[in-house]
Amino acid sequence: MNFIDYIFKFFSWIGGLISDGFNFLFSLLQSLFSGIFAVLDLIFYFLVQCLVVIFLVFKIFIALFQYLFAITGMFLKFIGSFIVPKFSSYTVPNTSSYGLNAVLEVLDGTGMLDILPFALTCFLWFWFVKKAIGLFGGDK
């Protein structure tokens, strides 16, 4: 072996040592950062799911308040129809108004156009609550 071969052998040994050192360092950093990334991913996933639950609860309360205000408004409209009757509040063009006015004349005394949706909604909610309570008892 001559001097040039020794120099090449030395540089290849130094290059291998540096390469192995970098490989070891990067594999160590990769395992460390992958663990940190997994923990951060879990934390942010938990936070996002908490926000989703808060948003869904908020939507439920909005729907509940809309329902309660609609029921209250419908009830007040029903009571108001007894206090101040409005017989000409429906305007329909052409000859359809004759048929609608005939129906309104029959139904104005009973208030069916106001109370019927309210009663059907009450029955629907009663059925829903009965089914929901039944699920806690094991019914299907």
104: how many CB neighbours lie within 10 A of its CB?
15
pLDDT-based confidence at residue 6 (cuts at 50, 70, 90): confident
Report domain extents, the chain: 1-83, 85-140
This prediction's pTM: 0.40
The mean pLDDT value of the chain amounts to 79
Note the pLDDT tens digit of each residue in 69-97: 888 888 887 777 777 656 555 555 566 66
Positive or negative CA dihedral for 108, 111, 116, 117? positive
Note the pLDDT tens digit of each residue in 8-35: 888 888 888 888 888 898 888 888 898 8
